[in-house]
Each structure stands twice: as structure tokens, then as C-alpha cells.
Chains A and B, each alone.
Chain A
């Protein structure tokens, strides 16, 4: 307060002696300590630090004191007010913390309640496996080539050294469309994509061709008239079977682990010469054919053989290169092909091929969006 104490009211004169101030402080601190909750503390604040509290009134009296007494009284009251204020703040913090702790306890939920409110989606494992395979080759600089499923007979057969009298063209194996003279077939392999690639690009060619293919086959646990293949094709200068082996070994390691390896067996395909079957060393039993968990003691994945038939491959037949306009004197190539469905089955222990095509959500959701 400054200036003349105009509102001086002698009736309300409060003693400013040390005992009185100490008493006021003690009363205030006691009340603060006794405040049980934040509401009570608000009351205490009003009573002991509010405008009409004893300490506030005492403070107001200081101006009326003679100058020599003012300093002492001012210090005394100020200190008392400061101490009360700190005590209040402290108590305020304590009570707020208590209130928050109580609130957090009250808000506790059962986190084990089910949380899955949305449906579970999934991508088909054939899709994700195809993508994974593509990624292995794209990482080596290859490209993914695609083509139509209904394609020209010439691209599916003739251009690939499957002449008109090749057994593979018989009615039993190939799904033909009407009329016969349209010369259209549901591709029996993804090889027409290879032919298309060689007809439209110039070497070096490094492509992988995944896709859906068709055969007039039985539909049972291990056969399907509709299935999926991935084929690879390289055409460049100086390409040999050794590059084929190197590529398939790398593919095997990328898909089945660093210890994986492949084996070639002589075989026959019209579009390759020499041709080979490629076997994969069984990634479950490590090629031993034995299993400690199977009842029979033999590995279920490779049926005890130690090797799994994986696909076919070979050096591109020069006749195929010629039909596609590539000079076999300058260039050579290799090609390979394997069933994606079959790879999926042995890689993931699928017993029945039909699981892939029946659309049972329990089958597909187990794979999520990747594998």
C-alpha cells in the first residue's frame, strides 16, 4: 500500500507484532496441511491468502506504521506470506498428483478385450510368391515380362520348336478355342512370353516371366488345369549351361536359404538342347532324406529322396532363336521354368493343390500379405 491510508479503519487494526504474525502463519500452514483435497485447499487459499485474510489485512496495515517500524513489519509479514504461498503451492502439487493418480486408476481398462473390429484381408500366396521370385531376379537387373493368357498357337508352339506333330499339341494336353482355324490357345506355359520378348527386344535379354497357364489336366490334390509358372530367359553372347546352373543356384539360395543347391539331370524339351531337369536339394532334411519328426523316419517334403523336382531348363535351342530372329552364331541363351504352385506347396507344406483355388479365406489369411 502506498499513499495515505484513506480507508484506515481503527476497528480493524491488526496487531503487527511478531507473535501475531507468527500465529497467522502457523494457522495458515496448519490449515494447508489439513486440506484433504483440492476444493478444501481452494478454501484455505481464500481464507489465508485471500484479500480478506489476516495476513492480507496485516500487510495492508504496514503503511500506517511509523517509518521506522515499517521495515521490520514489512519483512515479517512478507516472509510469512511467502512461506504460506509456497506451502500452498506444494500442497496444490501434491493434491493434483494424487487426483491424477486416482483418475488414472479409475480409467484402467481391460487391455485383453478383443480389438479386431475390421475384417482380416490377405493377398493370395501365389501372388506374393510370384512377386518374391520376381524381386530376386529384378535385384540382378532382370526385368519381368508379361503376355496374354490366350495367345497365338504359333507363339505357344511353332516358334518354340514344337512342330505341328509334337505330342504336346494333342487335344488332350492343350485347351484350344473355337474355331480351330483361329489358331488360338490358352497358353500351356509362359514360354510364348519368351518368344514375344525375343521378337521385340534385341540381346542382351534377361527376363523372368511369371504367369497363369493352362492344361487339359485332371483336377486333384496334385494336378490342376489352371496353374502358375515362372520362366526365365537369358540371351547374350557366350551364355552356357554354367550360367544356367549359377542362376538357378542363386535362385535356390534366395528362396530356400544360403545352403541351398541344385542338381541337373538330362531331360528333353523341344525348346532347349541340351535340356535338364533341375532338382533342389531338400531344404527341410538338408538332402539326407531323413527326418526325426516324421513317423516313418523319412522326410515328408522330399519323400525321402533328398531332392525335390523343381523344374525344367536348358540351353535355348538354336531353332527357337532363329524363329525369333536371333543369330545363333553370335548369341546363345538359357531358359528355365518351374511351377509356382508346386514351389508354394513344398515350400509351405501345402498338401492339397486345390486349397489354392477354392478361395477358403482360412487358407489365404494364414499367409497375410507376404511369405
Chain B
């Protein structure tokens, strides 16, 4: 809401020396939050006066431009009384017109700051000042050139600041949905009066004629949607009469466009009182006005020129021709006020908030009217608002107000609220006396009865938001002052600290950062192209995504099932910005569609729903497993004075999972797998026992190319939730022997395709209980090894819990290990 302060002051006895800043500050404290404070006209200074064009000579210059060399009577404003010579580029005026002239020394706002106007040589003349356009004066966009004033606007030399109402203060406020009354000068003025404890004059307080049967006929078929409908009629109106400057200026400062007198008046009254108004050209109406819901298949072309299919829920204004307006939202084209409208039928109605809200939403028409209706309008206003419109129309456009006054329906009765007298004190923690609370409620317009410990409160018509006892509390506390609320730290019972998963997730995050990975947060949206680029098969489960009804982009219309696209894009972005070594991780939820397509019911809100219904609701929420993904590209260790560097490779990806598992105390096993988006020969399946938790390895070259990341980029995607679940709650202390260790190395020739891990497992098994560890320390293929074979060298460590092992014992254990490898894998021991 933009409120010109001069307008507000009309209805409040605000001392003249109170600044707009102070008004804004106090309104903010009451809940009308300051968005912006503007001082239109403040950057301008005079002399800015009315001038009469005495002569104008068009001159065409070598640049092809025609300008007018004018002399303008500005009376004594220039100090000499002589006509002022001014060059003007506009052509929308004639000799004898009244214009606005800024004389040398005046200052106008420019696009890059204030411009001081001087006398300057241009087009062969000394141009002493400027004839002003609307834009140059801050009066809005130029229509046709310079401002031409009505012939009776004033006389040469008159001060144009006052004449055009150029200077004002505009307080722009953010109005919360519960303070709809503040979407009007009336409401703002009322709050200002409260804030400064000064008198308020209600602009709606006026005597209006008694309704009669002579007004324009109206029938309301849906009184729930339209409880009140008032019409007044003005005849003999002059459609060419201009809006008075003050009205056009206020409408403009309030954020609307000045259009014509009739339209400006309806907007002016809406802004002033808060009741949206519609005007009809009576000559274009046929038959009585009927308010009803739309019928199947009906259409309406609204004022914005859009032909709309109507829904049967839409509340309409109709006449014999059919729909002529979307009630409360936007009028229709056929009955629009136009340049030849001389008879105006004024509609001031009251509409149901929800009905208007739905229609405005359905047709995407958040108009000034709809904005007010859906938040709630004072239902007593229509008669007064219609009267005020009629008064302003004839005051500035002539004609007369017809005697007929139509008033159909009755305003909804306000709802009485009862509340404990001490509720405000209890809820706010401010020691508000009962009397203070009653006084505060009366100040906002409530009728209050205090019996014993209970207040019975009737809110004023302009506060439809006040329905609950707690609503009253807010009114009391904001008038007492939110700054009066004391600061008291509540004591919570002893808590249990972070949950197990919360603790473990932190541990994982630190471990990943310790490995040199940088955490990334990406958006969880994905599209078919992202999944195609990963090379997922048509039937890959990750292609089953949950689609958004209103996606942010058509490329990514669904919730993601993998974090890799986001990470790969981040990696590509980093590489594109010149980073060569990029190692990223993300932990986040992915979204798995429910196989049965369960639906979450909408339950009641009066009291806690049945557990069975709640269970049904909770069961319908799709699985959202927590995933850990990693992308690594470039070097893990750079080359330097210490020697050659090392690029991140498939095994580093595998190791990330192992490291995470290690900090969690979980054993993971690895086996070969083939799965997109990984390189089919360099993909490790990661398992906890038989549970597959994800994959790690080098990406498929095609994936790297499609995501524009360097070849050999590696990646991990594992189910973090499964890892956390497998972590032991309590780590058992290890028992270890203090007897000496015995070491044996074993080199085995095996088939090149045999997984090393299998051989290691076999050795461990064959070596028996004395074996403490088996570690692969060398892998060799080449000259010394036959084609199709590889040599694996293992270090075995032996130790007994109770004695020093003899060479014979160690040797026997080693031989048993080798023997099992020979038997199981056809291994050959190398010398």
C-alpha cells in the first residue's frame, strides 16, 4: 500500500511538524511495515511556474529535427515580466495554451541525478528555461509531449508545485493479510491516529440517502457470494472532463495510472475507503444487473482484452446480454466506461473473500480489487462508497445524481468473541492490566463488555480478521508495544543431545572433507536429458522419477533419483572456471516414487486425526533415502619438488567409501559390477554383507564427454542411510596379543581375471587363526609372468595370543594358506 501523506492528513489531526519518517516508524511498530519512503518533488526546485504560450515558430534544422521557438508569458516570475524565449521539441500544444515552465535556476530530476536548468544556446536561440513534460515533472510517463494544463488551471506566473501537487511524501507499506483495512487511506489514517493518539475523521462517515426502488434494478442470486450490492446512477456526466490535478496526482502516487475522470474517481474511492468500485456505461447495459455463478460454457472478454472460459464457481455480474464482469475481480469489455459515457451506473458491492480469491487465482488476475476482497473488506462500506463516487463524479464531471438508490442484501453480522480478561497478559508475558486491554481493544474500534474475568468483544466492521481470542491478544500487545515484551529464557528439560544419525552424519562430513573433498549443495531437480547423459538404460529404476506439477524449468521437471547430475555440473563449472583438480561430495535426499502411488489424505484440523488416518498419510510419503555422492577429477596429489603427482583414479573412489565406512566402524566389501554411469570394467559394487549400498569407480567416457568433465573422472554414489544404519552403537574394545609378530611374504601367479580380493580372502581363510592380517603389496603383469596371468604378492602377519610362534608354526600356516589358494584358484607360488 502506497499512502500519500497529504491524503492521510485529511483524516487525522496530525501536527504539521511530524515528519513522514516518524509516521513510518510508528506505523512499522504497529505492524504496517515500511517498505519505502518517497519524497516526490523533493529533488525539484523552482522557479517552476505556469506559462502561456504567446508565439511558436516551427524551425526545421539541418539534423532533420523540427523544434518550436516559443515565447511564453510567465508574468513576473522571471523578474522582468517580459516573455520568456524557450526552444521546445514537442508539438502537442498551440499558441494560447497553459504550460509548465521551469526557469533558469530551477532543478529537475534527471535519469542520473538532478539537473539544474540554465539559459543555453541551442538551435540558434538563447533558450531560457524549459517547457516540461509529465516525465520531467515526475508525473508519470509522457502521453503526447509536454504537459498542457486545462485553460482554467491558473494564470501565468502561478507556482506549479502547488497547482500540480508535485510535492508529497509517500509511505509504502507491506500490509499483512490480516490487516486488509490498511489497504486504504481510511485504514492507514486510523492507524496513524492510534499511533499518535490524535483524532481521526472517518471518510466513510457521511449521510447517505435511504435506499429506494428507483435505482438501477439488481437481482442477487447468490447472496452468500454477494451479500450486498449497491448501485447509484449519475446522468449528464461530461466524459471529456479531465481529472482534477490533485486526484490524478494522488492516484498516481498511490501506484495506479490516471486514466480518465470516471475511472480515476472509482480508483480514488477504492484507495480512500478500501471498497473496490466498478462503473458501468448505463447505455451499454441491457436489463437488470443479475449477480450469479457462471454457467457451463459461458465466456467473458474482460477489460484486459482476454476472452476467458468461465468456471461454474466464478461469481459473475450479468445483464440480459450475459456475463458483463467477473465479480470483484475485473469488469467486462462490453459495458466499459469509455470516452462517450454520459450515464454511469456505480456498483459498490460486498463480495465473499474466498469466492473472489478462487476466481482471481483461477484466472491469474491479482487485481487491486481482488487483492482487497480476498483479504476482507468492511461490509458496511458499499452505500458510503457509492455515494462518495457519485459526489466526486458530478463535482468534476458535471451532471446529476439520480435519486434512485439500489441496496440489495444485508451486510454479514460481526462475530462476537469471548476471551479471558487476563489472556493478553498470559500470552504476551507483558503485565497488561485488564483495563489496559479493554482500552486497547476499544481504540481499534471494538465494542467491549467486561464481566468478571471474561471480555465479550464485538469487532468493528472493518476488522473481519478478528475472529479468535488470540487475535485480540495481538491487538492488545501491539498497542501496548511489542517492545514491552520482556526477555525470559525458558528452561527446557534435560535433552538427549543429537541423535545417533545426526552425530554420525557430522562424522562422515568431517571425514570426507579430511579426504580433500569439497561439499556441494545442488538443486534436487532432474530431467530426462540429465538421465540420458548418465547413459541410464530405458528400464533403469533411476528413470522412475516423481514429476512436479509446476516445475521451475521444463528441462528438469522431476525430483531427482541421483545426485550425480548436480555434482557433475558443479565439477564442469569448476573446470570451466580454471580449476583442474576438483573433488566434490554431496549428501542429500533423493526421491523414490511409491510403487503403489499412495495418496496422502487431507485430514481434519479440528482435533488430532485418528491414528489410522495419520498412518495412512505417513505411509503415502515417498521414500527419500539419504545418498552420498562424490565426483573426483584431476590430481589428488600434484607434481612438485617431491616428484610426480597422482591423478584421482577408480580406486580412490572406492577408497572414499571405505574411509567413510571406516569412520563409521562398518565393514564394506567390494566386487566388480557393470552399471551406468560407470566404466563397465572399472565399477565397484559396494556391499555391507549381502546388501548392495552403491557403486564407485571411473565414469564411462561417454558420460564424461556428455557432462563436459575431463576423461577419467571418477564417481561414487552410495546409500548413506544404509551405512549409518550398519554402524555399531557401541564399539567393543579389541583384544590384542603382546607376543612378537611373525611375517611371511607370499607371491602367487593367478589368472589375470581373478579378483585379488578373492585370493586375499582365501589366504586369510587358509592361514587359520594365527593369521593376523593379509595385505596385497604388489601386483605385477609383464615379462616375468605368462600371458593371461598376474602375480599377486601378499604380506602375511602371524601372531598367537599366548606365546611366541616358532618358525615351524608360521611356516605351516603360510603353507596352508598357499595350499588353499592353489586348490581353490589354481594359483602357483612364485619362488
**Contacting pair A226 B523 (CB below 8 A):** yes
**Contacting pair A177 B548 (CB below 8 A):** yes
**Contacting pair A273 B471 (CB below 8 A):** yes
Within 8 A of A (CB), among B518-574: 518-524, 546-552, 559, 566-567, 569-571, 573-574
**Contacting pair A264 B482 (CB below 8 A):** yes
Interface string of A195-224 (1 = CB under 8 A from B): 000010000101000001000100100000
Is B582's beta carbon under 8 Å from chain A? yes
Within 8 A of A (CB), among B1-50: 28-31, 33
**Contacting pair B429 A273 (CB below 8 A):** no
**Contacting pair B605 A323 (CB below 8 A):** yes
**Contacting pair A151 B621 (CB below 8 A):** yes
CA distance A225 to B515 in the complex (A): 31
CB nearest neighbor in A for B637? A117
Is B177's beta carbon under 8 Å from chain A? yes
**Contacting pair B589 A149 (CB below 8 A):** yes
Stretch at the interface among B76-84, B243-251, B472-480: B472-480
Is B757's beta carbon under 8 Å from chain A? no
Is B825's beta carbon under 8 Å from chain A? no
Q: How many A-B residue pairs have CB under 8 A?
A: 304
Majority SS of interface residues in chain A?
mixed
Residues of A within 8 A of B354 (CB): 165
Residues of B within 8 A of A361 (CB): 518, 574, 579, 582, 584
Interface string of A300-328 (1 = CB under 8 A from B): 00000000000000010111001111100
Stretch at the interface among B94-102, B162-170, B327-335, B490-498: B490-498
CB nearest neighbor in A for B475? A274
**Contacting pair A170 B361 (CB below 8 A):** yes
Interface string of A346-367 (1 = CB under 8 A from B): 0000000000111111101100
Is A176's beta carbon under 8 Å from chain B? yes
Quote the shortest CB–CB distance from B225 to chain A (angstroms).
14
**Contacting pair A241 B495 (CB below 8 A):** no
Stretch at the interface among B231-239, B434-442, B638-646, B685-693: B638-646
Residues of A within 8 A of B497 (CB): 138, 143
**Contacting pair A183 B640 (CB below 8 A):** no
Residues of A within 8 A of B569 (CB): 359
**Contacting pair A274 B426 (CB below 8 A):** no
Is A239's beta carbon under 8 Å from chain B? yes
**Contacting pair B509 A323 (CB below 8 A):** no
**Contacting pair B607 A325 (CB below 8 A):** yes
Contact of A121 among B583, B588, B642 (CB under 8 A): B583
**Contacting pair B621 A274 (CB below 8 A):** no
Count contacts on B: residues with CB < 8 A to the other chain.
110
Residues of B within 8 A of A184 (CB): 546, 600, 620-622
Evaluate whether A119 and B583 lie within 8 angstroms (CB atoms) in the complex, with A148-B589, A148-B621 already known.
yes
Residues of B within 8 A of A140 (CB): 489, 492, 495
The interface centre, meaning the residue of B31, B426, B518, B549 with most chain A CB atoms within 10 A of its CB, is B518
Evaluate whether A178 and B581 lie within 8 angstroms (CB atoms) in the complex, with A148-B589, A183-B601, A273-B473 already known.
no
Contact of A364 among B358, B518, B577 (CB under 8 A): B518
CA distance A228 to B179 in the complex (A): 28
Interface string of A273-303 (1 = CB under 8 A from B): 1111100000000000000000000000000
**Contacting pair A274 B474 (CB below 8 A):** yes
**Contacting pair B581 A119 (CB below 8 A):** yes
**Contacting pair B602 A178 (CB below 8 A):** no
Is A19's beta carbon under 8 Å from chain B? no
Count contacts on A: residues with CB < 8 A to the other chain.
102
Is A113's beta carbon under 8 Å from chain B? yes
CB nearest neighbor in B for A341? B521
Is A256's beta carbon under 8 Å from chain B? no
Is B603's beta carbon under 8 Å from chain A? yes
**Contacting pair A175 B548 (CB below 8 A):** yes
Contact of B483 among A159, A263, A332 (CB under 8 A): A263
Within 8 A of B (CB), among A141-190: 141-144, 146, 148-155, 158-159, 161, 163-165, 167, 170-171, 175-178, 180-184, 186
Residues of A within 8 A of B31 (CB): 265-268
Within 8 A of B (CB), among A103-127: 113-114, 117-124, 126-127
Contact of B488 among A149, A150, A242, A319 (CB under 8 A): A242
Contact of B521 among A124, A274, A322 (CB under 8 A): A124
Residues of A within 8 A of B598 (CB): 182
**Contacting pair A359 B584 (CB below 8 A):** yes
CA distance A165 to B567 in the complex (A): 39
Evaluate whether A180 and B549 lie within 8 angstroms (CB atoms) in the complex, with A170-B361, A242-B486 already known.
yes
Within 8 A of B (CB), among A219-255: 219, 225-226, 234, 236, 238-247, 249-250
Evaluate whether A158 and B602 lie within 8 angstroms (CB atoms) in the complex, with A117-B640, A273-B471, A360-B577 already known.
yes
Evaluate whether A247 and B489 lie within 8 angstroms (CB atoms) in the complex, with A241-B427, A273-B470, A361-B582 already known.
yes
Is A369's beta carbon under 8 Å from chain B? yes
**Contacting pair A204 B493 (CB below 8 A):** yes
Residues of B within 8 A of A180 (CB): 549
Residues of B within 8 A of A161 (CB): 605
Contact of B522 among A236, A359, A365, A368 (CB under 8 A): A359
CA distance A44 to B319 in the complex (A): 132
Is A16's beta carbon under 8 Å from chain B? no
**Contacting pair B482 A276 (CB below 8 A):** yes
**Contacting pair B492 A144 (CB below 8 A):** no
Evaluate whether A359 and B574 lie within 8 angstroms (CB atoms) in the complex, with A134-B498, A266-B482 already known.
yes
CA distance A176 to B547 in the complex (A): 9
Is B780's beta carbon under 8 Å from chain A? no
CA distance A276 to B30 in the complex (A): 11
**Contacting pair B638 A117 (CB below 8 A):** yes
Is B506's beta carbon under 8 Å from chain A? yes
Quote the shortest CB–CB distance from A108 to chain B (angstroms).
15
Quote the shortest CB–CB distance from B542 to chain A (angstroms).
17
Is B698's beta carbon under 8 Å from chain A? no
Is B449's beta carbon under 8 Å from chain A? no
Quote the shortest CB–CB distance from B306 to chain A (angstroms).
18
Evaluate whether A274 and B583 lie within 8 angstroms (CB atoms) in the complex, with A141-B493, A199-B608 already known.
no
Evaluate whether A315 and B470 lie within 8 angstroms (CB atoms) in the complex, with A124-B521, A246-B488 already known.
yes
**Contacting pair B428 A358 (CB below 8 A):** no
**Contacting pair A150 B522 (CB below 8 A):** no
Quote the shortest CB–CB distance from A163 to chain B (angstroms).
8
Residues of B within 8 A of A325 (CB): 607-608
Is A131's beta carbon under 8 Å from chain B? yes
**Contacting pair B591 A150 (CB below 8 A):** yes
Is B614's beta carbon under 8 Å from chain A? yes
**Contacting pair B546 A127 (CB below 8 A):** no
Contact of A117 among B176, B483, B602, B642 (CB under 8 A): B642
**Contacting pair A243 B621 (CB below 8 A):** no
Residues of B within 8 A of A120 (CB): 516, 518
Contact of B477 among A124, A154, A178, A274 (CB under 8 A): A274
Residues of A within 8 A of B581 (CB): 119
**Contacting pair B559 A176 (CB below 8 A):** no
Residues of B within 8 A of A357 (CB): 521-523
Residues of B within 8 A of A226 (CB): 523-524
Evaluate whether A121 and B512 lie within 8 angstroms (CB atoms) in the complex, with A159-B605, A167-B177 already known.
yes
Is B624's beta carbon under 8 Å from chain A? yes
Is B297's beta carbon under 8 Å from chain A? no
**Contacting pair A127 B524 (CB below 8 A):** no
Residues of A within 8 A of B608 (CB): 199, 322-326
**Contacting pair A243 B521 (CB below 8 A):** no
**Contacting pair A178 B549 (CB below 8 A):** yes
Residues of B within 8 A of A164 (CB): 602
B-binding residues in A (CB < 8 A):
113-114, 117-124, 126-127, 131, 134, 138, 140-144, 146, 148-155, 158-159, 161, 163-165, 167, 170-171, 175-178, 180-184, 186, 199, 204, 206, 212, 216, 219, 225-226, 234, 236, 238-247, 249-250, 263-268, 273-277, 315, 317-319, 322-326, 332, 356-362, 364-365, 368-369
Given contact pairs A121-B518, A143-B499, a sample of 5 additional A-B residue pairs in the complex whose CB atoms are under 8 Å apart: A138-B497, A149-B589, A265-B31, A315-B470, A362-B579
Which 5 pairs between the two chains have the least Cβ-Cβ distance? Answer: A325-B608, A242-B429, A359-B570, A266-B31, A119-B516
